[in-house]
Amino acid sequence: MPQNTTSLPFQSTGYLLNRLAFSLSRQSDQILLERLGIGMSQYIILHILQQQPSVQQRVIATQLGQTEASISRQMKILANQSLLEVRTNPQNRREHVIILTLKGERIIDEAHHILDTFYKSIFDSFGDKSFKNFRELITAYSSVVNK
């Protein structure tokens, strides 16, 4: 018989997913800060720039569900570290586009490797089949949630 999780908030699916996401994000943030000097929010911005070169700040803010002011602060930090450049759009001088620098490309590749290694160490205990199922599940869930 299924367990009634409504009376057990610390066993509810929502609570467990939120706790897992928070814990992994915090640990990822700490590892990236220690090894590369960037936080998880900055990593995500660099990742978007790697996937979508010359994207506008407004688009990044929308994708991350953050304000343009918040993204602007993160981008200033990244620009000061020479990881990205903000340029005027030649087609519309009132718009700015963000470009990943070579140093930014190098850092994002290192960050991918660091995070892949970190997550692999956590999920190795699942076994290959369980991890594959878990990855398929979160990929499917992510595509539904991010519509």
Domain encompassing residue 36: 12-145
- Is residue 109 one of the residues assigned to a domain? yes
Report the C-alpha gap between 119 and 35 in whole angstroms: 15
- Is residue 6 one of the residues assigned to a domain? no
Q: What percent of the chain has pLDDT over 70?
A: 92
Report the C-alpha gap between 116 and 22 in whole angstroms: 17
pTM: 0.78
- Is residue 57 one of the residues assigned to a domain? yes
Cβ–Cβ < 8 Å for 55, 98: yes
Average pLDDT, the chain: 86
- Is residue 43 one of the residues assigned to a domain? yes
- Is residue 85 one of the residues assigned to a domain? yes
Contacts with 106 (C-beta within 8 Å, 6 or more apart), sequence order: none
> Residue 91's domain is classified under what CATH number?
1.10.10.10
- Is residue 101 one of the residues assigned to a domain? yes
pLDDT tens digits for range 65-109:
899 899 989 999 999 999 999 888 788 888 777 889 999 999 999
- Is residue 74 one of the residues assigned to a domain? yes
User: 67: helix, coil or strand?
Assistant: coil
In the chain, how many domains are there? 1
What's the pLDDT at 135? 84
